[in-house]
Amino acid sequence: MSYPVVVQPQMFQTSQPTSSEWNSSYCDCCADTCTCLCGTFVPCILACKVASAFDECCCLPVLCGTTIALRTGIRERYHIKGSICDDCVKLTFCAQCTLCQMYRELKERE
Give 69-98 pLDDT, tens digit per residue. Answer: 999 999 999 999 999 999 999 999 999 999
Task: Give, for 89, the enclosing helix (H) or strand (E).
Answer: helix 84-93
Q: What was the pLDDT predicted at 73? A: 95
Strand runs (DSSP E) across 1-110, as ranges?
none
**For residues 59 and 94, what is the distance between their CA atoms, to the nearest angstrom?**
21
How many CB atoms lie under 10 A from the CB of residue 66?
Answer: 17
Considering only the C-alpha atoms of the chain, give the largest distance between any 2 of them, rounded to a whole number of Å. Answer: 75
Q: What was the pLDDT predicted at 8? A: 66
Give 38-76 pLDDT, tens digit per residue. Answer: 999 999 999 999 999 999 999 999 898 899 999 999 999
